[in-house]
Chains A and B, each alone.
Chain A
Amino acid sequence: MDFRKFRKRSPWILHYNTGSCNGCDIEILACLAPKYDVERFGILNRGNPKQSDILLVTGPVTKRAKERLLRLYFEMPEPKVVVAVGACACSGGVFRHMYNVENGVDKVIPVDVYVPGCAARPEAIIDGIVRALEILKEKGKEVELPHWCSAQVKPPVNRVKLLDRCLEELHGRR
C-alpha cells in the first residue's frame, strides 16, 4: 500500500517564533480559527516536533533562537518540510542586517517554501502550506541535514551526535 498520498491529508504543524514581531504568528493562528478553519484539511497545530510534518517558522532568526531552531529541526522525524512565513523569515525583512539577526531562516535550516508579506496574509499562508504539501509528498525518508553541515549520516542514525556535530559547526561559523 502506498502511504504517500495520506501525507497530504493530515499534515501536522509545528509553529516556531524565532523573534518575530508577532504579526505573522497572529496570522497563523487566524488560519486555525473558525474563519479559515484549516482543520478542514486535517491540519492540526500539534506544537510537538516529534509528531509534526511541517515546520512553520516566523521571524528573522535571532542569535539566541538559531540553536533552538536547529534543535527543533533535528527533532522532527522525516519526511518533513519547512515553510518560512513572512518577510522576516524569508530574508530578514525590516530587521535585515541588524547586529543580532541571521537574515532569514535559510541561513540556518533548509527552507522549502517561502511565504512573503509583512504580515503574511492567512490566504497566503494556506497557499504556502498547500505548496509545501506537494513537496512533502515527493520527499523521501532519509535523514536531512542543513546544507552547510558536513556531518555524514551512517546507519544506525544517532540524531544526538549529528546534532552535536552541526551545533559545533554552527557556533564555529563566525
Chain B
Amino acid sequence: MSYWTAFILTLFSPVIGGFIYGLERIVRARMQGRVGPPLLQPFYDFFKLMDKRSIIIHSFHAFMGVMYLIGTWFALFVLLSGGDLLIAIFFHVLSLAFLVVGGFSVRSPYSVIGAMRELLHMVAYEPLYVLSAAALYLVTGTFQVSGILRSEHVPLIYLPLLFTAVLFSLPAILKKSPFDTAEAHQEIIGGPEIEYSGKFYEAVYTAKWIEYVYAFFFIFLFAGGNHILGALLIIFAFFFFNLLDNVTARVNFRQMVAFHWYILIPLAVINLMLIALWRS
C-alpha cells in the first residue's frame, strides 16, 4: 500500500471505527433482546458533543486528551502504511500513557483510580502484543506490516495458541467486560475519561473508535497474505468479543492481570517455543 492510500485510510479510520462501534451497539442490544440504537448513533453523539460547551479542568489535562487521539491515530498510520509492527505497538503504548498522565493530573479520585487501572491493563495485555509481533516475525521473517501482508505463509496455522490468547485479550485492549476495570462505567464512571467534556471528550471518544480499527487490524495480520481469511477472522473476532462482553461480569484487576500472566502469556510463549523448536 502506498503512503497516500495509507494516509487517506488513516484519515477516514474514525469513520470506519465509528461504524464498527455502531454495529457493536446494535449487536449488543440484539443479544440482550433489545432493538438498539441506529447504526449512525456514534456519529450523532459525535456531532452533538461538537455543540456542547467544554469545561476545562486545566489546559494540560485537556491537551493530554487530544494527544491520546493523535497518538492512537499515529499508531494506526504506522500499521496501515506498512511500517514496523513494534513501532506501532510503541506508539499505542505512548498514546495510552498520555491518557494515564491526563488521568493522574486531576484531583478526581475516579480519574486517578482509572488511570492506575489503565496502567494495569497495559501491564496485562501489551506483552501479548509484543510476543505476537515476535511470532509474526518468526513465521513471516519480517517485522514490516507490508511484508506480513504479502507473505505466502498464513501465520494462523503456525500460531493457533497465540491467536487464541490475543482473542481472549481483545476485551482488555478495547475495555469491554470481563476486562473493563479501567473504564468500569458503573463504579468509576469511565475512569481516566471522566473529567473530559465537550470537544475534549470527543477526542477521547474518537480515539476509542480508532482503537477498534487498530485492534482488528492486528487480528487481520494473523491471516498473512490471505486477505479473505483475514476478513473472516475479523468478523469472527467481532462476534466473539461481543458475546464475551455480554455473557461475562467484570473481574477485578488482580484476576485480570493473573489471567493474562498465568494463562494467556504462557500460552503464547509455548506457541513461540514450539515454532522455534520445529524450525531448528
Asked if A6 is an interface residue, CB under 8 A from chain B, the answer is yes
Question: What's the least CB distance linking A122 to chain B, in Å?
Answer: 14
Main secondary structure of the interface of A (DSSP, over half): loop
Measured CB to CB, the closest approach of chain A to B243, in angstroms, equals: 18
Q: Looking at the complex, which of B37-45, B231-239, B265-273 is the stretch in contact with chain A?
A: B37-45
Closest to B26 in A: A39
In the bound complex, what is the Cα–Cα distance between A37 and B194 (angstroms)? 25
B226 smallest CB distance to A (angstroms)? 37
Alpha-carbon distance A73/B195, docked complex (angstroms):
15
Residue of B nearest to A74 (CB): B55
Decide: A6 and B47 in contact? CB cutoff 8 A: yes
Q: CA A141 – CA B35 in complex, angstroms?
A: 33
A134 to chain B, nearest CB (A): 15
Asked if A159 meets B55 with Cβ closer than 8 Å, knowing A37-B34, A39-B29, A50-B196, the reply is yes
Given A3-B47, A9-B44, A10-B45: A47 and B34 interface contact (C-beta under 8 Å): no
Q: Is A96 an interface residue (CB 8 A)?
A: no
B48, B189, B198: which contacts A48 (Cβ < 8 A)?
B189
Tell me whether A34 is interfacial, beta carbon within 8 Å. yes
Contact B197 A51 (CB under 8 A): yes
Which of A3, A39, A78 contacts B50 (CB under 8 A)? A3
A75 contacts partner chain B, Cβ-Cβ < 8 Å:
yes
Give the interface centre of B32, B33, B48 by most chain A CB atoms within 10 Å.
B48
Within 8 A of B (CB), among A1-24: 1, 3-4, 6-7, 9-10, 12
Contact A47 B201 (CB under 8 A): no
A146 touches B (CB below 8 Å): no
Q: List chain A residues, Cβ under 8 A from B50.
A: 3, 6
With both beta carbons as reference points, the residue of chain A lying nearest to B196 in the complex is identified as A50
Taken together as a complex, chains A and B put the C-alpha atoms of A51 and B53 apart, in Å, by: 10
Does B107 interact with chain A (Cβ within 8 Å)?
no
The answer to whether A10 and B55 touch across the interface, beta carbons within 8 angstroms, is no
- B45 partner residues in chain A, CB cutoff 8 A: 10, 12, 42
Does A40 touch B at the CB level, under 8 Å? yes
Give a binary string over B10-30; 1 marks a CB under 8 Å from any A CB, 0 the rest: 000000000000000100010
> Is the CB–CB distance between A50 and B195 below 8 Å?
yes
**A77 in complex: contacting residue of B34, B35, B53, CB < 8 Å:** B53
Tell whether A79 is near chain B: CB-to-CB under 8 Å: yes
Which residues of B sit under 8 angstroms from A53, Cβ to Cβ? 48, 52
Looking at the assembled complex, report how far the CB atom of B49 sits from the nearest CB atom of chain A, in whole angstroms: 8
Q: How far is the CA of A53 from the CA of B47 in the complex (A)?
A: 13
B48 contacts A75, C-beta separation under 8 Å? no
C-alpha gap A6/B44 in the complex (Å): 6
Chain A residues in 8 Å Cβ range of B186: 47
Given A3-B50, A6-B48, A77 contacting B198 (CB threshold 8 A): yes
Instruction: Give Cα A42 to B196, complex, Å.
Output: 20
A sample of 29 inter-chain contacts (CB < 8 A) reads: A1-B47, A3-B48, A7-B48, A9-B48, A10-B44, A34-B33, A37-B35, A39-B29, A39-B34, A39-B37, A40-B34, A40-B36, A42-B37, A42-B38, A42-B44, A48-B194, A50-B55, A50-B201, A51-B201, A53-B48, A53-B52, A75-B55, A77-B52, A77-B53, A77-B197, A79-B52, A141-B51, A143-B53, A159-B55
